[in-house]
Chain A
């Protein structure tokens, strides 16, 4: 059973960077059969896919965040990470790390972390 666990600060100051790490167990981020994504959900709002990374390190980002977002991989720790720069209050959300199940065109998401709330506030 694949399990994912997010970790990182719960409070980030405006204009600073938001950094989160996802630790994977029961599976490997080096597995060529899957991608690994970050998804967020502002309170009471819909889910927003942020971006994904593959075992090779190749990435794909949501165009709306591309200029601020970096996703990276640490295979030695079986982790992947998110860094979102220049945050504002609109970045306040629950952030989920997830495993992508690739299909012909795109991915759906079959395993999710429990989520971590990040609040952007001074």
Chain B
């Protein structure tokens, strides 16, 4: 299986801050990566697919970048609604799709 490792596990930030979350794949996955946001007690929501394509309706303060094994999710100016846990997911391997362990974004 392709292993996905996110860092940091937890990040503390304030409203208005710029935040970056990293995701590393154990082998190259080109740009076959998605990002999800999950709030407590809720299902994950798709934010970004193909590493940098924003899902329709997702605020433009969210952006994704990277290719190969290194990827980044950036929130340009944190809003109160953004405090949540974020997961990356690779879909390069059709054998099994795998997720990162998650990054919790907390209020500082």
Contacts and interface: CB of A to CB of B under 8 A. Distances in A.
B108 interface: no
Interface residues of B, number: 26
Is chain B's interface secondary structure helix, strand, loop, or mixed overall?
loop
Contacts of A96: 43-44
Is chain A's interface secondary structure helix, strand, loop, or mixed overall?
loop
Contacts, number: 61
Interface in A81-109: 96, 101, 103-109
Contacts of B87: 46-47
18 contacts: A46-B99, A46-B102, A47-B44, A47-B89, A49-B96, A49-B99, A60-B94, A63-B96, A103-B32, A103-B50, A105-B92, A106-B94, A106-B97, A107-B97, A108-B34, A108-B91, A109-B46, A112-B43
